[in-house]
Structure 1
Amino acid sequence: MPDDIPKLPRQRGKKNQPKDTAWKQQKLPALRPHYDIASAIPVTLLIGVITLAMGIALYFGHMGSLEQEIVYTNCAVQNGSQVSRLMRNEVGNQTFQCSYSIVLDQDFTGDVKFSYGLTKFYQNNRLYFNSRNDQQLRGKITEIDGCDPLQYVEMNGTKVPIAPCGFVANSMFNDTFQLFYQNGVNGSMVRVPWTPRGVLGATEMKRKFRNPIRVNNQTLCQAFQGTTQPPSWRYPICQLGVNNTDPDVGIGFENIDFMVWMKVAALPKFRKLYRILNREVDMFSNGLPKGTYQLIIDYNYPVDMYSGDKSFLISSENWVGPRNLFLPVIYLVVGTFLLLVTILFILIWLKQRLSRVHPT
């Protein structure tokens, strides 16, 4: 059907045009730099000198950090007076106690940190680090969404929630350590005092990890009633940290070792802080004195199935943190490269100047 409504002609005129200003007509002045050899020389020179200076400072800073690493995958076991070293294929999933003798050639002054390390352990796997429930870790023990397949256990036709659920909690590191110092005065063995205070920030601990609320003078195990431990755990979560003599270690979800483990690492080779030297004891007020130490390890955590390694680390850090030469080397390489590029630019600039003075 034809349209009987008349079409009005479209009005065109100056009212539809933007004003003739520099802003609306896009005529604002713009910087159009012209780069040449002469302008590039100061830029590469300045950046190269700064980068090289930072690399030198970081290098000497990291070299000032002391570190002692003990790889104890193949551990030494004390059988009476005989010491035997177990190889990887003999260890299996056994639980035993072993020891290492450590000699510090120089004093580890200041704050001394003790860490454990693992290799070839991929905590950065997406299916692994997503297998957890943060609401459960805050005390809501029945929240198990996202922990599949370690959400619950079938018991007599009933689904019993796992606490803590998920792959991360199930694979918790459970080797424990003791360090003894051989006193050179009387030859006695003195236990090195360490503390979990300062391993994690207080705000992070309170916001992310809370035990369930206990009512009517409940025990912690009663508060966790109706749940079960992860398949790889030997005892329920309410007993985690109970036997530790230091109350600051915490129990249950608020156990410091559990909280440190739940912070997944970004790389397959990682270290996690275990304890910090307690410098309130007179003998260790300045740090760890040089001498002979005995490391006692309760060997529980298996790594043989993926051919990984375990290590214990003693480190004395300064303003740059623990010793790691990766960043200083990168700065030194980049700074040296930029200085070489600057020299090349200077040679090209001189060649151009000479060609202008003495044209062929």
Structure 2
Amino acid sequence: MDDSSPPESIDNTKEKKKSRRPANTAFRQQRLKAWQPILTPKTVIPLFFVIGIICAPIGGLLIYASSTVKELRIDYTDCFRDSPTDEAKLMDTSLIFPSFKDNNTINAMWQHSLTNQTYGNYLVQNLTKCTLTFAIPEEMAPPVLLYYRLENFYQNHRRYVQSFFDKQLAGDDVSLVDVSNSNCEPLATTNGTHPNSRAYYPCGLIANSLFNDTFQSPIFLNPPDSNGSESNETYVMKNTSISWESDKELYKPRVSNDYTKIVPPPNWQIRYPDGNYSTENPPPNLHEDEHFIVWMRTAGLPTFSKLYMRNDTSPMRIGTYSMDIIDNFRTDQYQGRKSIVITTLSVMGGKNNFLGILWLVVGGFCIVLALVFLVTNLIKPRKLGDHTYLSWNNAPSSAAAKGKGKASGPTIARDGRVGMV
């Protein structure tokens, strides 16, 4: 055996030299075909004119569509304090925001009183009822929508948005520890993980702050019938079909009937005997509680409107209406405002001029720029350079390399590609 021969393992164990070089492909080496436009006055000026001519009419159509929406908004924030109790009084015109085609001078009246309200099987006494009386000057074609509008309510706060427990809302029988460890803090349980503690259902800040004013359907006062007699008529509005079907699938009723481990959120407890759930007064079926589902879809701005009721079949006729509101949600505690909004729809949705104004501004801005560029180009034109010099594949000539002359015509570079020199 020849000991002088190198061991066989030397060649096998020799490691390949590592390299960070990308693979030699068109994508990795940035050799893919690309097109980059050369912006000249002949292309830029017509382009700005075309964009302006397209955007401006679209903006006008959007504003026109928004103007066809009939809407009445009434701010009733201070009804519990400023309205009388004996007889209705005219509201300040600064609290009334009509938007109709011909008549935008509308008076409204308000008054408040104490009333009783039944929640499920439980009667709650001495609640404040605000009664609004208002006129509808023009017939509102269906669908007629009733919204509540809140101002200065920040549903977009980071901690507020995250304060819910999805498994609990989906109906799962979650434990006290699960709720305590969720994002619902500080409204997860009554006493942390203490043995006598109970979980809030539904837990979290969003659920606890649920808008809990109760709106009754408007009553048409003394409409004449075919016989000439007069009697009040209820304009029936329904509480269904106000939420997205995709949202409804996120909420399910509880699978457990054990109510000893859960308790209503603090702001809900007035609606239940002794502030507790029971067999006679069980927790709500969240899958069918569309007001709750609408509220849980948090708004991105501090002023927002959420749908409360709707009528998809009957028009709201011209006349005087009365509407009762159980006033539980006090916005004055956080310096906010609240209103009711009765509105119709257009082909572009609700009343909102912002999108139309935006299109008009963009169109007008483009036309102004096009005119400025056109006048500038006519008064003081600028000679354009030869864009062929922008090629990356130019092979410099000997004269150009020495700085003794200008580049000539096209030539073939060393790599075989055609360029300009």
User: What TM-score do the two structures reach when normalised by structure 1?
Assistant: 0.78
Question: Which residue number in structure 2 is paired with residue 107 of structure 1?
Answer: 139
Letter in 2 for 1:208: L
Deviations 1:143-181 (A, max 9, x none): 521111111113985121110101001111100112111
Aligned residue pair count: 319
Equivalent of 2:291 in 257, 268, 273: 257
Instruction: Say whether residues 1:54 and 2:65 are aligned partners.
Output: no
Name structure 1 gaps, 5 residues minimum: 8-15, 215-221, 244-249, 356-360
Deviations 1:300-350 (A, max 9, x none): 111112110010000100111110111111111111111111111221232
Name the CA distance, whole Å, in 1 between partners of 2:301 and 2:143.
Answer: 26
Per the alignment, residue 49 of structure 2 pairs with 45
Describe how 1:219-298 pairs up with structure 2 within 5 A: 222-233=257-268, 234-236=270-272, 251-254=284-287, 255-279=289-313, 284=314, 287-298=315-326
Structure 1 pair 223/195, CA: closer, same or farther in 2 (3 Å)? farther
The one-letter amino acid paired with 2:147 is S
User: Which residue identity does 2:85 align to in structure 1?
Assistant: N
Secondary structure of 2:266's aligned partner:
coil
> Shift in Å at residue 235 of structure 1?
3.1
AA matched with 2:136? L
Contact kept, 8 Å, 2:160 with 2:205, in 1: the verdict is yes
Provide the C-alpha distance between the structure 1 equivalents of 2:267 and 2:167, rounded to a whole number of angstroms.
Answer: 22
Larger radius of gyration: 2
2:148 counterpart residue number: 116
Scaled by the length of structure 2, the TM-score of the pair is 0.67
- Partner Cα separation in structure 1 for residue 219 and residue 73 of structure 2: 16
99 and 339 in structure 1: CA distance in 2 versus 1, 3 angstrom threshold = same
The answer (yes or no) to whether the contact 2:213–2:325 under 8 Å persists in 1 is yes
Identity of aligned residues (%): 28
CA distance in 2, matches of 1:81, 1:309: 24
CA contact 2:223–2:232 (8 Å) conserved in 1: no
Alignment partner of 1:326 is 2:354: yes
Deviations 1:86-137 (A, max 9, x none): 9xxxx9xx94011111111111112111100100000000001101101101
Q: What is the Cα deviation at residue 27 of structure 1? A: 6.4
Q: Which runs of 5+ in 2 are unaligned?
A: 1-5, 12-20, 93-111, 113-125, 384-421
Cα distance in 1, alignment partners of residues 29 and 312 from structure 2? 70
Matched, 1:199 2:231: no
Question: Alpha carbons of 1:26 and 1:177: their partners in 2 closer, same or farther (altered >3 Å)?
Answer: closer
CA contact (8 A) 2:263 2:277 kept: no
| Aligned pairs for 1:19-168 within 5 A | 30-75=34-79, 77=83, 79-81=85-87, 95-142=127-174, 143-144=178-179, 145-154=182-191, 157-168=195-206
Which structure has more RCO (C-alpha within 8 Å, separation ≥ 6)? 1
- Which residue identity is paired with 1:269? T
